[in-house]
Chain A
Amino acid sequence: DAGVTQSPTHLIKTRGQQVTLRCSPISGHKSVSWYQQVLGQGPQFIFQYYEKEERGRGNFPDRFSARQFPNYSSELNVNALLLGDSALYLCASSGDSQETQYFGPGTRLLVL
């Protein structure tokens, strides 16, 4: 079975631009979470979606938004990019018990 997939793998943007990152969960998983990992630090929780509804939000500005589609895939949008948004963005999916999360390979975003 395929694991969590994310696209694109790498992305370069300039300050002020907008970016959309995509995630497909493991088949059968209805929960998707997004994390930001700045170089040299642990991942920080951004959002969780379950059954297309937002179930949790971390301490991130309103420039960050997300949604989940009927097939449980998800998009993370970041508007008005700042240099500090440069990071590895990780998506994780989990089953109904939500006990264990499985991470994708991430999208590495560089903002110049």
Chain B
Amino acid sequence: GNSVTQMEGPVTLSEEAFLTINCTYTATGYPSLFWYVQYPGEGLQLLLKATKADDKGSNKGFEATYRKETTSFHLEKGSVQVSDSAVYFCALAGYSSASKIIFGSGTRLSIRP
């Protein structure tokens, strides 16, 4: 079945550091891929998405590219801020079950001033 694997946290970086959070997936067909962010005490917010191979999703300085050949969707940001501290979830939705999102286990990111 479909699944998502993302790097375990916690990840701790200094402000202005470069961020990469790895995510790989297993799926049949051509799923849509997402990154969601969860700030402390809040629900999930969609950060970015990509719906087909080689698409790049971007938002708030974050980017991720849909790589079908490596089944990956790594999240990157060139310069992180303290306000980026949150839990990040990689997720996928299959073409035939778009409303059933499969999430990874989440990566907690902490940014030091």
Contacts and interface: CB of A to CB of B under 8 A. Distances in A.
> Which label, helix, strand, loop or mixed, suits the secondary structure of the B interface?
strand
Interface residues of A, number: 27
A56 B99 contact: yes
Q: Which 9 A-B pairs have the closest CB atoms?
A: A42-B103, A103-B44, A98-B98, A105-B43, A48-B99, A103-B43, A106-B43, A98-B99, A45-B100
25 contacts: A31-B99, A33-B99, A33-B101, A42-B4, A42-B89, A42-B106, A43-B89, A43-B101, A44-B103, A45-B100, A45-B101, A45-B102, A48-B99, A48-B100, A56-B97, A56-B99, A56-B100, A92-B99, A94-B98, A100-B46, A100-B49, A101-B46, A101-B101, A104-B43, A106-B43
Interface of B: 4, 32, 36, 42-46, 49, 51, 89, 91, 93, 97-106
